[in-house]
A and B are shown apart, each in its own frame.
Chain A
């Protein structure tokens, strides 16, 4: 008997989901869970209607409204008639095609990548897709999860399958121990700063190493969420006891004997010893500082105590031009310190950092303190459940006492579709995932950072190092339940 060829977790999930594959064609890959939101689905439903076909598996599909909804008091109107029409269209589409919807007012409503895990719909070994690039978030559970376009949304609705070429694998090994004030967000920002925003193109990241194992599920989701910012459509972490503990008892997770059987199956998923990756990189957690971006893509990040890079130091002419343009947009000088940079807005939220442990970190910093004069702090929970949980723990009161806006769940200023946006020229420290030109409002300037850095900056009124806060040691290890 020959030994089985060692396989990565990606290869195991992949082979488990190939329905069929014609010679020379991509594989037909089965999808276990399809998440739907208002922005990338209407044209897909129109396509189904035009063909006169239905949704193959409504029971493996779930929808929510998150991108263009108001996060102010829900009784207030939408930002415009188009946003309202889009959400109304989602409701009509879900009703017509029999898809369960967690819309506004439903206790299950929230950002699509927050509610999947929260409801226990996201499980190890699954294939999960959504018309949203941050679908990589669900990889935290050891699922192969990736964003798709609207044409593909239509395909999945119609057939519960997709055409896919098998991905290459990229091991991101993070060993060591994070120091107080440094968190999951800093791991992923450091990775992207090293490899660039195209570094993972064509690959799936697998995050390994003891620093990854030490992360809670919320933190793992933060890391996997921004895989796409490193160019990888998916990024995942093999499931372990931390994963199973998080899932146990959640609404859609099996119970009793079925739970035991599921866990036994999930334990076979981790990458085999001796399996090989197409690429790999190692990051030393001990050496990480809080990270902050200074430019107009997530790869333009630096340790918070560093200076802004100079275009003169860039050997590649393309990178020099890109840096010059970014610094002009950001109105920053080469070599200047990022610490102490004046800010106008702080945004805590998004599918990257809008979970309860993110809010606990921010609240830990803000308790007994006040937001600096002239700074607007918005705290936007990732879901209605996160909001209720935060209020039950008294976090909402802490935010309000600190002078923050404590809002309703949604994508909010991460994508600035709903009216929550920066004014031209404003600077923001944001816990979200993208600092592209105009991403948080036309002309707005974004510094991506962790919830700790964001909260510390809100108090200081400038970009601030959370490690200098008194009592930061007691906030670490970060976020444990």
Chain B
């Protein structure tokens, strides 16, 4: 279960590439874990490290001075494409990411992020450009993310409003997980199941 999502202020890590797929966020060879811990070192592994485990030169943005501790990513369109691996969200969480700004996200990645307390904020193209331009001028610009008010406060005092599914907002603000919500629907599921007999029985021996 994620921590309740509170207002926070952070500088931003820009990763302008479009269509960043989850194989880049966490390469498949790191999916052999049976827990969630320790995935920070797998994050963007092959963009950050050479074969021998040393940092690439020039360094990938995450490993440049001053990036550690930043909680916001600004990324290109369709971030998180491809595989359903929730390891991508776990690795981002482990690195410290709490919010992402982009024009769009792949569906499964967006769901996985929300379930791990990472807020995937969608902005329009003009705003997206404006944010990259702002960071080009001031790489250490601080943004304040206020989920309750659905706003991103910029250093110039302006606010970018964003939309979010009201249910997801409620869950992530409270740090509540959806499983608790679903378990409470147990009685309704009993009723549904009584009216809809199981279509298959995987336990039945093959004929």
Measured in the bound complex, the distance between the Cα atoms of B199 and A123 in whole Å is: 8
Smallest CB separation, B142 vs chain A (Å): 25
Known: A159-B189, A160-B189. A24 touches B203 (CB 8 A): no
Check B84 against A148 for contact (C-beta < 8 Å).
yes
| CB pair B166 A24 closer than 8 Å | yes
What separation, in Å, do the CA atoms of A86 and B33 have in the docked complex? 7
CA A322 – CA B199 in complex, angstroms? 45
CA distance in complex: A40, B86 (Å)? 8
Does A408 make an interface contact (CB < 8 A)? no
State whether the Cβ of A439 lies closer than 8 Å to any Cβ in chain B. Answer: yes
Chain A window 15-43, contacts with chain B (Cβ cutoff 8 Å), 1 for yes, 0 for no: 01001100011101010110000011011
Cα-based distance from A201 to B183 in the complex (angstroms): 29
Flag if B32 contacts A83 (CB, 8 Å).
Answer: yes
Residues of the A chain whose Cβ atoms lie less than 8 Å from the Cβ of B36:
43
A309: CB under 8 A from chain B? no
| Contact residue among A132, A198, A321 (Cβ-Cβ distance under 8 Å from B78) | A198
**Closest B residue, CB atoms, query A122:** B200
The minimal Cβ–Cβ distance linking B112 to chain A, given in whole angstroms, is: 4
CB neighbours (8 Å) of A123 from chain B are 199-200
Whether A322 and B108, one on each chain, are in contact in the complex, defined by CB atoms closer than 8 angstroms, is no
- Is B198's beta carbon under 8 Å from chain A? yes
Instruction: Write out, one digit per residue, whether chain A residues 56-70 have a CB within 8 A of any chain B CB (1) or not (0).
Output: 111111100001100
Interface presence of B115 (CB below 8 A):
yes
The B71-89 residues at the A interface (CB cut-off 8 A) are 76-78, 81-86, 89
Q: Is A165 a contact partner of B165 (Cβ separation < 8 A)?
A: yes
B35–A438 CB distance below 8 A: no
Cβ–Cβ < 8 Å partners of B165 in chain A:
26, 165
- List the one stretch of A150-158, A169-177, A206-214 in contact with chain B: A150-158
Does A233 reach chain B (CB closer than 8 Å)?
Answer: yes
For residue B199, which residues in chain A have a CB less than 8 angstroms away from its CB?
32-33, 123, 125-126
CB neighbours of A302 from chain B (8 A): none
Q: Is the CB of B106 within 8 A of A152?
A: no
User: Given contacts A28-B189, A159-B179, A159-B186, are A89 and B201 in contact (CB under 8 A)?
Assistant: no
Chain B interface residues (CB < 8 Å from chain A): 16-19, 21, 23-24, 27-29, 31-36, 46, 51, 76-78, 81-86, 89, 104-108, 111-112, 115-116, 165-167, 177-179, 181-183, 185-186, 188-189, 192-193, 196, 198-204, 206-207
- 6 A-B residue contacts at CB 8 Å? A19-B185, A32-B200, A40-B86, A133-B82, A228-B108, A417-B32
| Cβ-closest 10 pairs across A and B | A198-B78, A251-B206, A42-B34, A82-B32, A149-B112, A149-B86, A147-B84, A151-B115, A150-B86, A62-B202
Beyond A39-B85, A123-B199, A255-B207, 16 additional pairs, beta carbon < 8 A: A16-B196, A33-B200, A42-B35, A58-B203, A86-B32, A89-B34, A119-B206, A131-B84, A151-B115, A158-B182, A165-B165, A231-B81, A297-B21, A415-B28, A436-B82, A438-B27
